[in-house]
Structure 1
Amino acid sequence: MNYKTESYVDLVQSRCQTNPCVSGLAEHLRCGSGTASTIVTLDYPQSGHPAPTPLTIAEADLTKLISTTSTIYGRILLVENIRPHLISLLGEILDVDPVFFAGHVTTDFKDFEKAPPPPSLALFPSQLAERGYLHLHYQQVLDLGSPDPFRSSSYSLKSDSNVPRNVRRLPRLSGRQLALARACCSVLVKKIKGSWICLVLVDPAVKTVIETLRSGDRRAYPSVLLHGGFEDFVQSASPTSFTSVTSDRSWDKKSILSSLIHYFRNQPPGFVTSEPSILSFGYYPIRIVLAEWILYTNLMSRYFKYYEYTLHDIENRLHDSDIIDLQRWRRRSMQSQHKLILLSEFVDYWLPQEADKQPWNLTLKDIKHVLSQLEHYNRSLEHMIPVATSMVQLLDSRRSMLEATNVSRLTFIALVFVPLSWVASLFSMSENYSPGHKNFWVYFATALPVLFVVLLLSAVQWSQVAGKLKDTAALLSQQVRRLNADVVLV
């Protein structure tokens, strides 16, 4: 690829002809400039310092920084909240395939008739693996606080970032409003002038979620990660050395960027400074994402418990919206399994090149563990949805029966008043039968027997009467045939 004769935006636009999955990236690059991105570098000098020092740089210095690689083995370039202009700049400098940026930017599962699928769905897992594009798609559990402001809000929300991620509002739990936010961490390794550069793209912490109203206005809600984020997967310090390492182990777990800077202070398994592998760079991001998936599976377990209670209390809690939520959970479960399968295929593809395979065998077991949990909940969903649907149908039938009972009561009232009103209209033709005159008693003498006859006729089981008439007719016909036979014999 040659970016000197054309801009990166033009290249992305031309690639839409051969790879429609990059259409979302082309649309994203046409957006505004966005807010400033955070760029942090971790250099591995040839002098051999054990722990790299993070350095925050400005976007204007990025081109000069990447060109000066003669004194280092390589550099990890961490970019948080990447904006469209920075995508074009990095694409030109590092000669990056647009499919890589498309896999990070386009994560929406839009309707197929409206937009082409993202690379994670359009390409085979083997294609993504052999190209060395590691895209870690996962879900973050957000706590939006009290559910009161969300009583009339939309189910679909967005994150407030340069790459807006989908945020889905969940049913309230114990007076709390939870939500699921999509997120992505992407890793790419490039060789430049005898050195390596590892580009890592991460999403910012979701501190605000946005709702777009029908009028076009936007409404913002504050959000935080539920329980402060994921569990630390590094072995904790012993009690004797706890005080000495406390300051080193404190970092902002709400930020993936801060977490990666913290973990990359130590070399990941299989990391060779002169020529590290893509799996060694992906070790810490993969472990962080798997920890987020564990939170997600625990949230699924909690909501299944919620829906079980709903089925037990069908009269007061089960609604049509619960059926819709169960359908959404089933769709999420299928999409989540697909994301983890892509990750498993990526690790399997690059694992033979690793000298130390034990950490990755354990990682694959952890991936299979999360997959088994998702498969278990997916099967539970398959069994729960028809049960919940039947419960709703039974509840609707019961309501229909109650409404039919009310209609029969109204019919009975009509049976009472219709004869009375008919007789009243009959006697209204003469003043002698109006109230206060001498012949008014005739109204009661006529109306009451008529009312009695109407009520008596309404209480008659006409189906039984029809059956008895049929039996009587059959009996009479038999007797007639017998009489005719006797006459013939005589």
Structure 2
Amino acid sequence: MRPISECSLMKISAATTQRNVTPSPGPPLDKIVGSWLCDEGPYQKYIEALSGSNPGLKKADPNNKDGPLKKGNALVVLLDSPATGQPDYSKPHEFINSAELREHFKSSQREHSRRRIYLMEGLAPDYVSVIGGHFFMDPSFFQRQERTCVWSNDFTPVSDALPQPSLLSPDKSFHLQYCELRQFNKALENRYYFCQRTRRHVGMTPPRHKEESTTGILRRKLSWWCRNTGNGGWDVVILCDPQLLHLSPDPKEVVPGGLRLITNAKDSLKNGPFQEGYLSFLPPKSFNCPPTAAALSSLAASAPKHSRTSMLRDLIYYYEHHSDLLTPDEWEAPQKSAIFLKKIVAAHYLQLVDYIKVMLPSLELRLTTAWVEEQDQWKSLQTISRRCGNYRDDIEDTLLSLGYPLDGKLDEPSKLRSTDWKDCEKDLQYAYFRLKILKERADNLTTSMTGLASIAGNRQNLEEAKRVKRLNLLALLFIPLAYTSSLFSMQDNFAPNKSDFWIYWISAVGAVAFTSFVTFVLDRALDEEANWTLAPVKYLKFWKNDGKPSMVKRKATGLYDHVRR
């Protein structure tokens, strides 16, 4: 048998390696940069290319691990109108799925002569891939809409911070954060929850037991983006949150005696807009004389009732029925299409301000009447103060995103005399001003609460000191008696009913008198600073001072000690 040479071994090894080596598999889907936000495609490649400058594009919000973005879990509605004259958005079109939306973009020209508004409720990777792949807007437009972290004790790998103010372009895109008040049909436990779908924070307030209900403050986000086409048209994309349906974790109902887990909460626990929703921001129609019944009927039938079910439906309602409130010249620029959503956000902020403004006086009243609940009141004040700080930060970001000043001043004559209902800056500045005042008011109440708690503590300490004084007085009587009895041993002739028992009583009374005298002298000899003085001697002296007041020697302050030296 011929031995295998070294050269043959090398050839066999190379051949074996060539047969066994297979192409290395690509990275898992969850490791592909941007796959959490967008399906694979050109826009996902664009996200991957920008991930170096924006590291937040690499990972989803860790708070969404229980509710990641799912394909098809979004709704896109198109409002389309010609680029000339008054727009008509009376026929909104809802896309069934992302494939239909993709076909729509393929069949339409990029440089069209239309005024189109795309409303997207919720986020889904397939819809993001289609819309982003058509318009190629900055991926942070979708990224910031996905972020849900309000605050965290840990440093999370994501951020929801604004970009540098110099990079903000309100005429191109902006991002708004606001809060919506929701009323639940059951009295729920006062703790934090999350929207099961969007993972937005829901802050609960104490339940209203008289109505067996609870008010929740739901955090919301809204994003707007636009572009102009070459033929006088424009495209607008609006991202909004879906309505709250279910809470996470499973809520508990407040019942007499404790808490109870709600059975079948998805069907039995309902919520709706607080006090039937925010106030309308549209100018009401006025009459110069008492209107007739026909005029009132015509006014009621001019527009259907506003349901206020979700941001998507609210925007469709205003675009469909009240687009004529803007002139054709105003509709030439896509920026004017954002008036309705800005006004809705301002209306939510004003409702929130009014709600907090009503809560604080009730706490002030309870502070003056209910001392037994001071711990719960302290917790409520701290919660209001913290939330006002968060809401103030949100509206500051909103003002900055819209290019409005952050002064929060309403004393300028131009602002006060403005009567245009389209003035969004005045509404948001007022909400910002009120939130700052409410924050300061809550902090002042917290300080007052601290003072009241100190007064209550001092009263308790005073009562305890009085009890200790009574015990000391009793000890002043019984300790000499006990000492005298131990001294005489109370045996033989000194025992009770014996001949020398009277000696014990004489000694005991003398010991009590001597102890009382020494206690009096020591109490007089010590001043308030616990220094020994001659006050007992001056108190007991019997000589006269000829009616002349004695000179009071002041204690040296030490200010002029260097002069003596």
CA 1:448 to 1:132, structure 2 compared with 1: closer, same or farther past 3 Å?
farther
Q: Which amino acid aligns with 2:279?
A: E
Contact 1:134 1:282 in 2 (8 A): no
Matched, 1:66 2:66: no
Partner of 1:240: 294
The percent identity for this pair of structures is 18
2:199 counterpart SS class: coil
Please give the alpha-carbon distance, in whole angstroms, between the structure 1 residues aligned to 2:458 and 2:48.
56
Matched, 1:110 2:151: yes
Matched, 1:142 2:182: yes
Partner of 1:167: 202
Displacement, 1:292? 1.1
Listed as ranges, the matches of 1:18-97 within 5 Å are: 18-20=53-55, 22=57, 25=60, 32-34=68-70, 36-44=73-81, 50-60=88-98, 61-70=100-109, 73-97=114-138
Contact 2:178 2:220 in 1 (8 A): yes
2:403 counterpart SS class: helix
Partner of 1:351: none
Q: Structure 2-normalised TM-score?
A: 0.65
**Bigger shift: 126-135 or 186-195?**
186-195
Partner of 1:396: 457
Residue 157 of structure 1 is aligned with which of 168, 178, 193?
A: 193
Q: Which deviations, in whole Å up to 9, do the C-alpha atoms of 1:431-451 show, x marking residues without a partner?
A: 998899999998877767656
Partner of 1:224: 272
Please give the alpha-carbon distance, in whole angstroms, between the structure 1 residues aligned to 2:88 and 2:50.
42
Residue 448 of structure 2 is aligned with which of 381, 387, 404?
A: 387
User: Which structure has the greater CA radius of gyration?
Assistant: 2
Please give the alpha-carbon distance, in whole angstroms, between the structure 1 residues aligned to 2:520 and 2:325.
87
Matched, 1:283 2:348: no
Contact 1:41 1:76 in 2 (8 A): yes
Partner of 2:353: 297
Please give the alpha-carbon distance, in whole angstroms, between the structure 2 residues aligned to 1:453 and 1:168.
68
Contact 1:39 1:77 in 2 (8 A): yes
1:233 counterpart SS class: coil
Q: Which deviations, in whole Å up to 9, do the C-alpha atoms of 1:158-203 show, x marking residues without a partner?
A: 2232x22112223456755333221122122246897643222111
Please give the alpha-carbon distance, in whole angstroms, between the structure 1 residues aligned to 2:363 and 2:401.
31
Partner of 1:463: 524
Please give the alpha-carbon distance, in whole angstroms, between the structure 2 residues aligned to 1:415 and 1:257.
81
Q: Which has the higher helix share?
A: 1
Matched, 1:204 2:249: no
Q: Which deviations, in whole Å up to 9, do the C-alpha atoms of 1:331-361 show, x marking residues without a partner?
A: 135324404423551699xxxxxxxx99586
Q: Which amino acid aligns with 2:201?
A: N
Partner of 2:316: 261
Displacement, 1:42? 2.1
Partner of 1:486: none
CA 1:4 to 1:157, structure 2 compared with 1: closer, same or farther past 3 Å?
closer
Q: Which amino acid aligns with 1:264?
A: Y
Q: Which amino acid aligns with 1:364?
A: E
Displacement, 1:377? 3.2
Q: Which amino acid aligns with 1:52?
A: S
Partner of 1:484: none
Please give the alpha-carbon distance, in whole angstroms, between the structure 1 residues aligned to 2:249 and 2:482.
60
Please give the alpha-carbon distance, in whole angstroms, between the structure 1 residues aligned to 2:47 and 2:457.
54
Q: Which deviations, in whole Å up to 9, do the C-alpha atoms of 1:240-280 show, x marking residues without a partner?
A: 34435448422421322111111111426557699843322
Contact 1:146 1:177 in 2 (8 A): yes
1:50 counterpart SS class: coil
CA 1:471 to 1:159, structure 2 compared with 1: closer, same or farther past 3 Å?
same
Please give the alpha-carbon distance, in whole angstroms, between the structure 2 residues aligned to 1:443 and 1:10.
105
Displacement, 1:53? 0.9
Partner of 2:28: none
Q: Which deviations, in whole Å up to 9, do the C-alpha atoms of 1:209-248 show, x marking residues without a partner?
A: 33479xxxx9866433210111222345675344354484
Matched, 1:185 2:222: yes
Please give the alpha-carbon distance, in whole angstroms, between the structure 1 residues aligned to 2:185 and 2:500.
77
Contact 2:149 2:160 in 1 (8 A): no
CA 1:307 to 1:47, structure 2 compared with 1: closer, same or farther past 3 Å?
closer
CA 1:236 to 1:440, structure 2 compared with 1: closer, same or farther past 3 Å?
same
Displacement, 1:293? 1.5
Matched, 1:374 2:428: no
Residue 331 of structure 1 is aligned with which of 389, 408, 420?
A: 389
Partner of 2:371: 315
Q: Structure 1-normalised TM-score?
A: 0.73
1:36 counterpart SS class: coil
Partner of 2:25: none
Displacement, 1:363? 3.0
Contact 1:44 1:52 in 2 (8 A): no
Partner of 1:485: none
**Bigger shift: 135-144 or 396-405?**
396-405
- Structure 2 residue runs of 5 or longer lacking an equivalent are 1-33, 252-260, 286-290, 407-417, 527-532, 544-565
Q: Which amino acid aligns with 1:69?
A: S
What is the alpha-carbon root mean square deviation over aligned residues?
Answer: 4.7
CA 1:311 to 1:342, structure 2 compared with 1: closer, same or farther past 3 Å?
same
- Structure 1 residue runs of 5 or longer lacking an equivalent are 349-356, 477-490
Displacement, 1:119? 5.3
Q: Which amino acid aligns with 2:339?
A: Y
Please give the alpha-carbon distance, in whole angstroms, between the structure 1 residues aligned to 2:477 and 2:246.
65
